[in-house]
Structure 1
């Protein structure tokens, strides 16, 4: 087989020129375009990744802030609920305190009114008892009663203890002030003489005695000398009766108050 080297070489050269031309004007721009495209796509991927990372960061930040807000919201709600609870308890305690205060004030007022009422009743009863006794004794007064009144007074005068007799004797000896005898009724001469004798026997000396009358004594006789006072009178018994009545009602009131306190 005959080979035309010139033609072969020329074809090789032409082929190489064709390859260069293709590379220069066809494949080169295509490859460059492909490279640019790849670079563009790669850049877009990088940008997309960056944006995705930024979005993830924003998402995480949003989630964190949302969690913080939820936590703050829960804390505020808990705080508000606790404050409301404390305020409610405080108002309940204040209301209970006011109720107890009003109840105590009401109890004190009622107790005061009850005591005043009972005190008034006691005073009225004592006054009625005393007045009735006084009236009865005044109605019974007579000559025989006056004699007995003087006899009892003399018995009481002579029955004074030694210490009292000595003390009164000293008072009488220290001055000459007049002695006064006051009776519920005007004493007759025999009663006056008996009293003067008893006075001299008791205190060892006679003394001028002035006689007066005082219905307030109620069946009684009173002797006064230089500041010393000796008296016997039914008024003393009435005063004792009045005191006893008052003590009875007072004890009854204390018992009721104690019972009320135990019941409360």
Structure 2
């Protein structure tokens, strides 16, 4: 197996540069946006608290009305007390119901905002990461987008279950090999040699160009998928960062 140390070194440097750029120009603005949305949710909760305070004030007013009625109408104390109690209970029930409704609404709105911001952050991160990586890879030799990923693709085939490996290219069928750019004859031969060695038999394939891979190779069939591309690596990084953010919010 031939290891291109220059390619691996450049890929490592590009990855470090990418992570630095993401940390400086992506996650800080996203954190600010989330903080703004959190402030909006806090405002809704404050409104709910205000409604609760109004309910408590209404309760105090009901008590005062009952006391005033008892003092003013000593002779009719039993009837006045009964009426005041009924009115107090009605006011309390209405105020509590309103406060509960506002609290539930606030909780639902806060959760909706959090989920919306998480989805938006993941989408922005994915788009920005893909764009930055594509620009970085434009500076590398074209060979680096393919050669450094052949062995990883072959290792992925080796790790598939035996039944799945047996189905690949069965009965002389051809599998689709996705590449980030058009392959040279030498590259196709290198890939064919590596895949044949991994499966222990010949594997015919048809090349499909997919620039969105950025760099790398992928094989995808009806029952299996082996991905060794920079796009797949970026998707996993974004997914991991998003999961960590959700865990902290919880």
- For the aligned pair, the TM-score class normalised by the smaller chain equals 0.5 to 0.7
Hey, what does 1:250 align to over in structure 2? 246
Question: How far apart, CA to CA, are the structure 2 residues paired with 1:143 and 1:205?
Answer: 37
- TM-score normalised over the length of structure 2: 0.58
Could you list the runs of 5+ residues in structure 1 that have no partner in the other structure? Answer: 1-76, 255-264
Hey, what does 2:185 align to over in structure 1? 189
Question: How far apart, CA to CA, are the structure 1 residues paired with 2:229 and 2:203?
Answer: 23
Question: How far apart, CA to CA, are the structure 1 residues paired with 2:126 and 2:222?
Answer: 31
Query: Bigger relative contact order, structure 1 or 2, given CA contacts below 8 A and separation 6+?
Result: 2
Decide which of 131, 135, 154 is 1:135's aligned counterpart.
Answer: 131
Question: How far apart, CA to CA, are the structure 2 residues paired with 1:116 and 1:197?
Answer: 52
Question: How far apart, CA to CA, are the structure 2 residues paired with 1:124 and 1:220?
Answer: 27
Tell me the alpha carbon deviations over residues 179-236 of structure 1, each in whole angstroms, 9 at most, x when there is no partner.
Answer: 1101122222222211111111111211321101112223231113453221122222
Q: 1:173 to 1:126 in 2, by over 3 A?
A: closer
Question: How far apart, CA to CA, are the structure 2 residues paired with 1:234 and 1:108?
Answer: 44
Hey, what does 2:216 align to over in structure 1? 220
Matched, 1:211 2:222: no
RMSD between aligned residues: 3.1
Matched, 1:97 2:84: no
Decide which of 228, 231, 234 is 1:232's aligned counterpart.
Answer: 228
SS state of the match for residue 175, structure 1? Answer: helix
Contact 2:177 2:207 (C-alpha < 8 Å) held by counterparts: yes
SS state of the match for residue 226, structure 2? Answer: strand
Hey, what does 2:113 align to over in structure 1? 117
Contact 2:156 2:226 (C-alpha < 8 Å) held by counterparts: no
Q: 1:218 to 1:81 in 2, by over 3 A?
A: farther
Report matched runs for 1:33-72 at 5 Å.
none
SS state of the match for residue 249, structure 2? Answer: helix
